[in-house]
Amino acid sequence: MAHKGKHALITGGSRGIGRGIALKLAENGVKVAVAYYKNESAANDTLAKVKERGSSGFIVQGDVNKPDEIRKMFDRVKKEFGTLDYFVSNARPEISAFYKPPMEISVAEWETATGSQATAFLVGVQSAVPIMGKGGRIIAITYSPGGSAKAALESLVRYFAVALARRGITVNAISPGVVFGAPNTVDGGVLVSLPQEVQDAVKAWCESGWSPMRRPGTPQDIANATLIMCSEESSWITGQIIHADGGASIMDTLFPLPIQGAA
């Protein structure tokens, strides 16, 4: 396998999309560092499943809102792995910690949003590159309609893509759209923290045709996209926002579904 023997660090790797990515990479022979914030039990469970898939790794705790703790994650990676091939920046706080209307969001909530996403990516990439050789892959999990913090993150993806191209390192982002995992499990991700009526409405929106594939995504869908972007065959792709969203981002919201052939 082309990925066998590679090393990865995944922030937010204990649950949801991050967990799905960790397990997909492990299935393909990648050794995985599972970074988590609070849920050590979930991180250990993810690591156990990594080992069940014939790979290995370790868990590492850290708050991505604190640059020094991010740097310590990479110090641990250097100590345990010696090198790094794939860095997946996926961690984010619960939606309720920062997702507010612009006239209501506090400065602290704003700093939580930008710190956990754009600033964390900045510090993460700066820490990853010194231990990453040619052929390295850096991937940010974004959400393109997701506001200023994600816009800043996506700008950094483009800046780093240019700066690191000479080193043979690619930098891309994957925008998943709506993703649900199994309910009431660590596979569920951040959306399962929303009120049930909101979850039901979002799923109905996808199934009605506004997502052409007529279903929400799963962590496995995003893990598959990540594996592709980590491959040797993706070496000519950099600075891009990859929409792995079942086609939702290409829908025209000004015209009814029947006119678009999606009813």
Catalytic residue selected from 79, 99, 143, 203 = 143
Do residues 218 and 245 lie in contact, with contact meaning Cβ atoms separated by under 8 Å?
A: no
Do residues 69 and 22 lie in contact, with contact meaning Cβ atoms separated by under 8 Å?
A: no
Distance CA 239, CA 165 (A): 10
Q: Tell me whether residue 143 is one of the annotated catalytic residues.
A: yes
Catalytic residue selected from 134, 150, 159, 203 = 150
Closest to 10 in 3D by CA, of 174, 177, 217: 174
Q: Tell me whether residue 99 is one of the annotated catalytic residues.
A: no
CA-based Rg of the chain, rounded to a whole angstrom?
18
Do residues 250 and 221 lie in contact, with contact meaning Cβ atoms separated by under 8 Å?
A: no
Distance CA 139, CA 157 (A): 8
Coil vs helix vs strand at 20: helix
Instruction: Kindly list the catalytic residues.
Output: 143, 150
